[in-house]
A and B are shown apart, each in its own frame.
Chain A
Amino acid sequence: MTLNRKFLIGGIAAAFTSTAAIAGMVQPAPVDVDLATFFAGGDMLSARYAPNKNEFIGCGVRKFDDGVGGATAFGFCQAEDADGERAFCNTDNEDLLDAIEASADYGYVTFSWDEKTGQCTRIGFSNQSFYVPPKVGSNL
């Protein structure tokens, strides 16, 4: 193999290596529960692969047949951070239920709650490329 060919193969390998290393911006957001300000937030991917057994975050909706053609629904959000601080809230606010049902995989979740009632006062989702895991398909 000539020297020029070695350089060529090495250059191609280096090019592939650099492509694999650059995969777009990532913005991990570990779960944070603040019991002083009644705030919780974090992205699902970071929580799922956190280096501890505590972290989780998410929201859900429960619906029950009311027997007269409708449903009784309530939603909830829950989170625990690496320090073991936990937060739960619930809601029957239809707009907040809509927000929960519009959430997507791998997103950033944040919520706040009323200390006295435990009702959710704010629910937020953010779906961004930098929360998506690096091995879910590829356009490249």
Chain B
Amino acid sequence: MNWLIPLSATQTVLLAALGLKVVAIDMRTDDIAEAVKAQPTQVQTQADPAALSWDNARSASLSGDEMRKIIREEVAALETPARAASAPAQPVKPQHTPQQVKTAVTAVDREINYFRSRGAIDEVEMAGLQAKIAKLPLAERRAALTSLTKAMSKGEIDGWM
């Protein structure tokens, strides 16, 4: 009968260990239950794209694509002002007033008439006249070239273009 005492003690110890194990499993179950309750809130947050930002983002709740999207948006926002500031200014063709155009046309006409009265134009004079004609607006330029070529075709101005 002497072996009954150690057996009883062993059973008591085992029962106590079993009880502790049950309590530990119970606590872990509660933790998991709480985590499951919290999960729908996070999913709802992720479903709203507007809510994606550095302020509410948690690495555990964002996919790789979402993080890349946020990084792209942030980088684009940083680059936009810099790009606008660094873009070279496009040269703007000066707009001449009608009076300026009229003055230039008159000067070219006067020069053509001068060469017509003289009856000849040399190469240097032709180059200078062409440069002045080239500065005229298209319609006036065509008119001046018409006047010049007609005068040359008629023999009123002897020379070459």
Same complex for A and B? Answer yes
Residues of A47-104 at the interface with B, using a CB-CB cut-off of 8 Å, are 56, 60, 62, 64, 66-69, 72, 74, 76, 78, 86-90, 92
User: Does B119 have its Cβ within 8 Å of any Cβ on chain A?
Assistant: no
Closest Cβ–Cβ distance, residue B116 to chain A (whole Å): 14
Q: Which residue of B lies closest to A59 (CB)?
A: B161
- Size category of the A interface is 20 to 34
Q: State the interface size on chain B (CB cutoff 8 A).
A: 23
With contact pairs A68-B93, A78-B161 given, residues A92 and B138 touching in the complex (Cβ less than 8 Å)? yes
Report A-chain residues with C-beta under 8 Å of the C-beta of B131: 64
Cβ contact within 8 Å between B134 and A88: no
User: Does B68 have its Cβ within 8 Å of any Cβ on chain A?
Assistant: no
User: Does A28 have its Cβ within 8 Å of any Cβ on chain B?
Assistant: no
With contact pairs A64-B131, A74-B141, A78-B161 given, residues A88 and B93 touching in the complex (Cβ less than 8 Å)? no
Q: Which residue of B lies closest to A89 (CB)?
A: B149
Report B-chain residues with C-beta under 8 Å of the C-beta of A62: 130, 134
User: Does A121 have its Cβ within 8 Å of any Cβ on chain B?
Assistant: no
User: Does B24 have its Cβ within 8 Å of any Cβ on chain A?
Assistant: no
Cβ contact within 8 Å between B134 and A64: yes
